Amino acid sequence: MADTLGIFNSSIAWFTEQKKLNCSPKIRAWLSDPDSLTLKLESLAKTFEVRVKSQELIKPSTFLSGYFNNEIKVLVRNVFLYVDHKAVIFAQTEIPISTLNAHSTILAYIDNQPLGKILFNHANMTRDTFEFFEFKEHSSAHQLLKQINQSNNDSLWARRSLFYLNNNPLLVSELFLPASGIYR
C-alpha cells in the first residue's frame, strides 16, 4: 500500500474556496459537483467498475489526512474507478474504527462495490464542504500515473470531503486522472 498511501497525506495544503480553483470551467464543474461521482461516471460509461488496489486497517500516521489522529485505527481503502476499461479516478477512503464500530461494519466488506452507491443511498448521510488541491507536475499523484500507463505533464486536480453516516465521519479523497477527460 505504500505506493498509494501517501498521495493524500497530512502535509497537503487543501483549500475550500472555489475562487482559488485556477482551472478551466469544465474542471471546476467536476470538482464542485455535490452529486454522486459514481452515478455521474456510470451515466457516461458503457462499462463501469471499481478495482480495489488495497484495503488495510492501520494506525493513523502522517501518510493519512490527519482528520482521524485520535483514533486507534483507520480503515484505508484505495481504489481505481474505471470507465470503459480506463482508470479515471483514484480514490482513497479513510474510515475511523469508531465509525465502523458504530454501525457501519458493512463498509469494511464492500470489496468492488462502489462506495458512492452506499453513501448516497444511506438515509442518514450528510456531506461536508469540499476541499481542493492541485498536484503540480512531478508530484506523488503523477508518480501514480506510471502504474496505470497514463501520463500528464500538467496539473492534476483532487477533491475531498467528509461524509457522515448517522453523524459518524469518513473521508473520501478523489484524484481525477488524465483519462477522466476533464482536462481536455
Cell of 24: 478551466
Residue 31 covered by a domain: yes
Task: Tell me the average pLDDT of the chain.
Answer: 90
| 176-181 mean pLDDT | 94
pTM for the whole thing? Answer: 0.93
What pLDDT sits at residue 1?
40
Q: Which three cell numbers stand for residue 94?
A: 479513510
Residue 37 lies in a domain: yes
In a domain, 7, yes or no: no
Which pLDDT band holds residue 62 (cuts at 50, 70, 90)?
confident
Residue 134 to residue 13: CA distance in whole angstroms: 9
- pLDDT value, residue 61: 82
Residue percentage of the chain with pLDDT more than 70:
96
Q: How many residues does the chain have?
A: 184
Tell whether 5 is covered by a domain.
no
Asked if residue 95 is part of any domain, the answer here is yes
The CATH number assigned to the domain holding 16 equals 3.40.1410.10
92 is in which domain, residue-wise? 12-132+140-180
Mean pLDDT computed over 113-121: 93
Q: Are 104 and 167 in contact (CB under 8 A)?
A: no
Indicate the number of domains in the chain: 1
Q: Is 58 helix (H, G, I), strand (E, B) or coil?
A: strand
The predicted structure's pLDDT at residue 63: 79
Which grid coordinates belong to 33?
459537483
> Does 72 map to a domain?
yes
Would you list the DSSP string of 115-164?
A: HHHHHHT-TTEEE---EEEEE-TTSHHHHHHHHTT---SS-EEEEEEEEE
d(CA 104, CA 168): 9
Question: What is the arithmetic mean of pLDDT over 29-48?
Answer: 95
Residue 41 lies in a domain: yes
Give domain status of residue 175, yes or no: yes
pLDDT tens digits, residue range 122-161? 888 999 999 999 999 888 899 899 889 998 888 999 999 9
